[in-house]
Structure 1
């Protein structure tokens, strides 16, 4: 009888822990909501595919900061006096992007114009309770990775970091806010899966064209 009671107790504890885990897995509004409609006043202007032969630098500009909306108007002028920027590298209570816990989505059904290059919008959501450092001077630090023919994920881009900290303005993202950026579409002869990497966070996978040589650094 005592053994039966113990078994029932163990079973009840298991059920309680299972329910707790299920509660932790509840999706955020960012994961449940469809990708916003992006309004870009430069959509009708000429844009072409980016061309790269080797591993290059990622240049990802921020176009919107704020609440997660159904429609987002792409802004090309940055207000460095807003709450999404801080002077220099004095982070204080701001976490670096390596510690960031963010959600990342890429929408390949929408095309935006990034300095004359065809791009897809990228939406990044701060899941944490902390403000995050995500880049400098209005840029957002993430890179694109591609899948090799052996199934390995490798970067086709690398971060560009300013050599001098003087005059640098940090791009920051408060809790539960989003930033809209973009990822360029490359030309190439190798069709593969691509994804965005930011710290230890990854976006959804999507199809794209690149050159296999982009997995390697330029030969000296």
Structure 2
């Protein structure tokens, strides 16, 4: 009798183990991230930008070099060659300078891709139109990629990328809400370029306001993905300062 009870218990354990093994859920494959993981180096508190005028655009690189799964943001890398302190830094910066004006290609939908990652919030140092004060703003990462195989794309001068945000007004018409800084005499300026296959990381500010609308970034005749946000309608009006 004891032997039969022992055998019955063993058989139950075997069936239970077999059933548990059979009912194991399949492993879920992790989806590949569309954008790298970003580590910000600023510890200051950031806020959304609440303004009632059209501000100057402020787009400078915050990472230079080869892209990997994780990038460490450097808010001082865009200070240019004056802060280069090693041969590696010189090589990194020199890749994005071009001295032969007129021998580069304009940004277009054929050679540039613009992507804004609205799932991640980082920080941006903003200093335009507000005197000598620096403001730490909440911002979205912005990726600009040269998708051509041979074109060297002109982005602007001295690490200043000639791009700006647009938003839809109440009539659903796209209008600029940022103005690009005027560049007069090019003497002393260095053309900022993006070589084939390269990608630049910068950022676009997150605004605060009472008007909900759609926004996008424009570079030449190329546009980023659209996203929702809040602005003040006075930002459609061109400021006089």
TM-score tier by shorter-chain length is: 0.7 to 0.9
TM-score with structure 2 length normalisation? 0.70
Name stretches of at least 5 consecutive residues in structure 1 with no aligned partner. 1-31
- Displacement of 1:142 in angstroms is 1.1
Instruction: Find out whether 1:120 has 2:130 as its counterpart.
Output: no
Higher Rg: 2
1:73 is aligned to: 72
More displaced, 49-58 or 140-149? Answer: 49-58
Task: Name the structure 1 match of 2:121.
Answer: 111
Residue correspondences, number: 186
In the TM superposition, structure 1's runs of 4+ consecutive aligned residues that sit over 4 Å from their partners are: none
The secondary structure found in structure 1 opposite 2:160 is coil
Partner of 1:179: 200
User: What TM-score do you get using the length of structure 1 for normalisation?
Assistant: 0.77
Aligned to 1:86: 98
67-76 or 51-60: bigger deviation: 67-76
2:210 equivalent among 179, 189, 204: 189
CA distance, structure 2, for counterparts of residue 51 and residue 118 of structure 1 = 11
Alignment of 1:30-49 (within 5 A): 34-42=34-42, 44-49=43-48
Task: From the superposition, tell whether residues 93 and 70 of structure 1 become closer, same or farther in structure 2 (CA, over 3 Å).
Answer: same
Name the CA distance, whole Å, in 1 between partners of 2:211 and 2:109.
33
Once residues 68 and 33 of structure 1 are traced to their aligned partners in structure 2, the CA distance between those partners, rounded to angstroms, is 13
CA separation in 2, counterparts of 1:143 and 1:100?
19
**Aligned with 2:160 (options 139, 145, 152):** 139
Displacement after TM superposition at 1:100 (Å): 6.5
Q: How far apart, CA to CA, are the structure 2 residues paired with 1:46 and 1:110?
A: 16
Tell me if structure 2 keeps the 8 A contact 1:100–1:199.
no
Match of 2:161, SS?
Answer: coil
The secondary structure found in structure 2 opposite 1:194 is strand
Match of 1:56 in 2: 55
- In structure 1, what is the equivalent of residue 191 of structure 2? 170
Look up the SS of the partner of 2:64 in the other structure.
Answer: strand
User: 1:196/1:188 Cα in 2 relative to 1: closer, same or farther (>3 Å)?
Assistant: same
Aligned partner of residue 204 in structure 2, secondary structure:
strand
Deviations 1:107-136 (A, max 9, x none): 122122112111111001001220111011
Counterpart residue number, 2:111: 101
Q: Aligned partners of 2:173 and 2:207: how far apart in 1?
A: 19
SS at match of 1:214: helix
CA distance in 2, matches of 1:70, 1:203: 22
C-alpha distance 213-93 of structure 1, shift in aligned 2 (>3 A): same
Supply the distance in 2 between the matched residues of 1:166 and 1:77 (Cα, whole angstroms).
Answer: 24
- Structure 2: stretches of 5+ with no match in the other structure: 1-31, 82-89, 126-135
The 10-residue stretch of structure 1 (118-127 or 106-115) with the greater mean CA deviation from structure 2: 106-115
